Amino acid sequence: MNIQEIRTNPFDDQKPGTSGLRKRVTAFQQPRYLENFVQSVFDTQETLAGGTLVLGGDGRYYNRQAIQVILRMAAANGVARCLVGQGGLLSTPAASCVIRKHGAAGGLILSASHNPGGPDGDFGIKFNIANGGAAPEAVTEAIYRRSREIERYRILAADDIDLERIGETRLGEMQVTIIDPVADYAELIETQFDFDAIAELLGGGFRMAFDAMHAVTGPYARRILEERLGAPEGTVRNGEPLEDFGGGHPDPNLAHAAELVALTRGPNGLDFAAASDGDGDRNMILGRDCFVTPSDSLAILTANHMVFPAWRDGIPGVARSMPTSRATDVVAERLGIPCYETPTGWKFFGNLLDAGRIAFCGEESFGTGSAHVREKDGLWAVLAWLNLLAVERRPVAEVLRDHWRRFGRHYYTRHDYEGIDSAAAQTLMEQLRRLMHGLEGECYGTHQVGHTDDFRYVDPIDGSVSEHQGIRFLFEDGSRIVYRLSGTGTVGATLRVYIERHETRPERLEDDTQQALADLIRASQAIADIAYHTGREAPDVVT
């Protein structure tokens, strides 16, 4: 075996964000950049030596090159076995499934999620631990600390291996298994839902589309929706994974999936449409002439958990990220189960899921999932909705309206101010932190500020504490404004402002969201002096 020790030194910008290390492709193409991160993982995660590593990504530009480098480094660092998705592909939820099923010591997932790909786009890498979930802060911090003092990395001198041929090969002493990226996941997901009922729905004139946005979910959706459940060929659109996602932005939201949205509009609109993002963990759910917000989606799936075979006998609890609307809290209260509020980022659900405290969890940012894996799961959400509709047999819009009638409606919006100056963003947040308590009791229109705080989370399982997770203005009438800075951006800073109001008067339920929140939106801009700090009169993206 020809193992090389290559001298290196730290980079200044390898601090992981909300979802691992995410940078421009050009950053990753610098010599030693990827290697430093990967070696820092091997240096700190001792169970990988002699253990199994799962490896795959969303197929974006640089995926294949990175996989070859990581394989040679894994072999040089004593990994016993590496499971790699064919073609270098594994959706994020599938990687989680494979780690769990095969008892791997961890996994490396290559993705920049919904960020654009291609030579000028983004790339990313994150480490998942043995439970299949993204590494918790203690682990990512250890990796980061290591990357600050790294002096050498280890790599095997060897040729590239063939990522297309399913089966076993060797790289030095390491066994490499190229696996079907869909098989384990498809087998698991079938245990969660009533596939017979869904197949019957799809065979009975129900019209739907799934947009894979030329990202990783194409092969998964084709196998499961078309081949297994019998949806007509062509149900899956843009199903071929491409390195640059066909030039698109693989972010399933009303702006970036506009073509899909158009298919659901008007009297001839589809009954149902859905999309997923670059790495397959996000979801967007549409019905004819309607859109289900991710916050409502979690609440509705929670209220209807008994239609899912995996949860027929009840659910122990649910969780949502702090900025996600409180629609699920209302349902949980009615069901008499706890609803946990965690910081932004899926990894905070990990301990609750491992401890069996929750069945479902979700984030407003198009993330929904369950205890079947330790990542959010786009196709899980799509199949959950199909399962629900197969039982309900009525339009999505009606399911939604009925839910609001029973639980009230949480009008909810997120305003993003993108690419703002990082220092200005920090100043804005610091000022808010200083001012917030002094604003308690102030009135904005009819809304009086009750409590304000900087969200702090104490993990109920391991007691770990996460500070400064977002500034919250909680109003006396139950409305809420939350401010936080994005942890996933690659250029400047992004300020996210989350605004919500709970409406329980049935006669007021049909309003337009921005309209229904107009006075709180104005308050959100005034309280933080957004125009002054950012120079922006209006948000760049409204969700």
- Per CB under 6 A, residues contacting ligand G1P are 18-19, 113, 321, 344-346, 363, 365, 367, 486-488, 496
Per partner kind, with CB cut-offs from 5 to 8 A, the member of ligand G1P, Zn ion, none near residue 501 is none
Q: Which of 52, 91, 113, 128 binds Zn ion (CB under 5 A)?
A: 113
Q: Is 58 a residue that touches Zn ion (CB under 5 A)?
A: no
Backbone conformation region of residue 146, classed left if phi is above 0, alpha if psi is from -120 to 50, else beta: alpha
Interface of this chain with Zn ion, residues 282 to 341, rule: CB under 5 A: 282
Cβ contact 42:73 at 8 Å: yes
Q: Which two tokens stand for residue 119?
A: 């030579």
Q: Is 281 a residue that touches Zn ion (CB under 5 A)?
A: yes
Closest to ligand G1P by CB, 328 vs 488, is 488
In eight-state DSSP terms, residue 231 is P
Taking alpha carbons only, the member of 540, 433, 421 closest to residue 484 is: 433
Per partner kind, with CB cut-offs from 5 to 8 A, the member of Zn ion, ligand G1P, none near residue 363 is ligand G1P
Stretch that binds Zn ion, among 109-117, 158-166, 250-258, 400-408 (CB under 5 A): 109-117
Cα(189)–Cα(195) distance, rounded to whole angstroms?
Answer: 10
Stretch that binds Zn ion, among 275-283, 433-441, 453-461, 464-472 (CB under 5 A): 275-283
Per DSSP, the three-state class of 496 is strand
- What amino acid positions are annotated as catalytic residues? 113
Per partner kind, with CB cut-offs from 5 to 8 A, the member of ligand G1P, Zn ion, none near residue 344 is ligand G1P
In eight-state DSSP terms, residue 136 is P
Closest to ligand G1P by CB, 16 vs 367, is 367
Cβ contact 161:6 at 8 Å: no
Closest to ligand G1P by CB, 19 vs 235, is 19
Cβ contact 255:541 at 8 Å: yes
Cβ contact 117:60 at 8 Å: yes
Q: Which two tokens stand for residue 72?
A: 């040679």
Q: Which two tokens stand for residue 266?
A: 């008007």
**Closest distance to Zn ion from the beta carbon of 306 (Å):** 29
Closest to Zn ion by CB, 215 vs 523, is 215
**Closest distance to ligand G1P from the beta carbon of 342 (Å):** 10
Q: Which of 279, 296, 363, 375 binds Zn ion (CB under 5 A)?
A: 279
Per partner kind, with CB cut-offs from 5 to 8 A, the member of ligand G1P, Zn ion, none near residue 346 is ligand G1P
Contacts of 437 (CB under 8 A, 6+ apart): 452
Angle at 17 between CA 285 and CA 324, to 5 degrees: 35
Distances in whole angstroms, Cα of residue 16 to Cα of each of 38, 55, 128, 185, 317? 13, 19, 13, 27, 30
Contacts of 148 (CB under 8 A, 6+ apart): 10, 14
Q: Is 377 a residue that touches Zn ion (CB under 5 A)?
A: no
**Closest distance to ligand G1P from the beta carbon of 18 (Å):** 4
**Closest distance to ligand G1P from the beta carbon of 225 (Å):** 23
Closest to Zn ion by CB, 194 vs 277, is 277
Per partner kind, with CB cut-offs from 5 to 8 A, the member of Zn ion, ligand G1P, none near residue 525 is none
Stretch that binds Zn ion, among 105-113, 135-143, 209-217, 486-494 (CB under 5 A): 105-113
Q: What are phi and psi of 380, to 5 degrees?
A: -60, -45
**Closest distance to Zn ion from the beta carbon of 314 (Å):** 30
Q: Is 277 a residue that touches Zn ion (CB under 5 A)?
A: yes
- What residues form DSSP beta bridges with 156? 3
Q: How many residues interact with Zn ion (rule CB under 5 A)?
A: 5
Per partner kind, with CB cut-offs from 5 to 8 A, the member of Zn ion, ligand G1P, none near residue 279 is Zn ion
**Closest distance to ligand G1P from the beta carbon of 149 (Å):** 27
Q: Which two tokens stand for residue 168?
A: 């076993």
Per partner kind, with CB cut-offs from 5 to 8 A, the member of Zn ion, ligand G1P, none near residue 478 is none
Residue at 146: amino acid letter = R
**Closest distance to ligand G1P from the beta carbon of 369 (Å):** 11
Stretch that binds Zn ion, among 273-281, 391-399, 460-468, 489-497 (CB under 5 A): 273-281
Backbone conformation region of residue 419, classed left if phi is above 0, alpha if psi is from -120 to 50, else beta: left
Closest to ligand G1P by CB, 86 vs 344, is 344
Cα(280)–Cα(278) distance, rounded to whole angstroms?
Answer: 6
Q: Which two tokens stand for residue 255?
A: 């702006």
**Closest distance to ligand G1P from the beta carbon of 415 (Å):** 13
Distances in whole angstroms, Cα of residue 281 to Cα of each of 95, 130, 217, 272, 287? 11, 19, 9, 19, 20
Per DSSP, the three-state class of 85 is strand
- Residues near Zn ion (CB under 5 A) are 113, 277, 279, 281-282
